[in-house]
Copies of this chain bind each other. A is one copy, B any other.
Amino acid sequence: MGAALIPFDEVLDRLTRVFRDEGYEAASLANLSRATGLGKASLYHYFPGGKADMATAVAERSNEIFREKILLPLLGPGEPRMRILGMLDNLDRYYARGEDSCLLGMLAMGGSVTLFQKQVRAGIEGWILALARVLGEVGFAETDALQRAEDAVLRIEGALLVARGIGDAGPFSRTLARMRETLLEL
């Protein structure tokens, strides 16, 4: 009969970890099966579209979680400057001090970007827009706020890429530290 062995969200979490650590192409069904404890056929029960289906679901859920953990506190109540500094702390935790990679970044730098461009775009642009909005509250003019927000987001992404590439989380930590001093400056 087979009741669900673990909650579906837990399945998504484990799939996320594999895609985030290995990238889309290197994440084999054998990996994904092992990570979830589910047989391949069971994975196909939840995701009829197979691996691509799993990755898009995982990317969408990742965007939701990012929204909860990063964007809502950023937009939420409190003094705007403090919320922006709080975002930097939350990012530090979210990306495990630079040890974890960004799922969207991994999907972006893979051979099948186009499959996930909708989710990548939504995640990136949602982040930029939210940050720009709070920078606006702080007093930056709209275009300046947008520029700063875009710059901040792509610096985080670049820092995670470089950290992963050289096997040293230092660039991520230093990037957060620099942004603490410059993001609100001028």
Contact = CB atoms under 8 A, between A and B. Distances in A.
Interface of A: 21-23, 25-27, 101, 104-114, 117, 120-121, 124-125, 147, 150-151, 153-159, 161-162, 164-167, 171, 174-175, 178
Contact of A154 (B101, B114, B121, B171): B171
B157 A174 contact: no
A105 B154 contact: no
A153 B154 CA distance: 11
Classify the secondary structure of A's interface with B. helix
A23 B157 contact: no
Contacts of A175: 151, 154
Nearest to A112: B26
A150 B121 contact: no
Contact of A165 (B21, B112, B113, B162): B113
Given A109-B101, A111-B25, A121 B158 contact: no
A117 B167 contact: yes
Contacts of A104: 165
A101 to B, nearest CB: 7
B154 A159 contact: yes
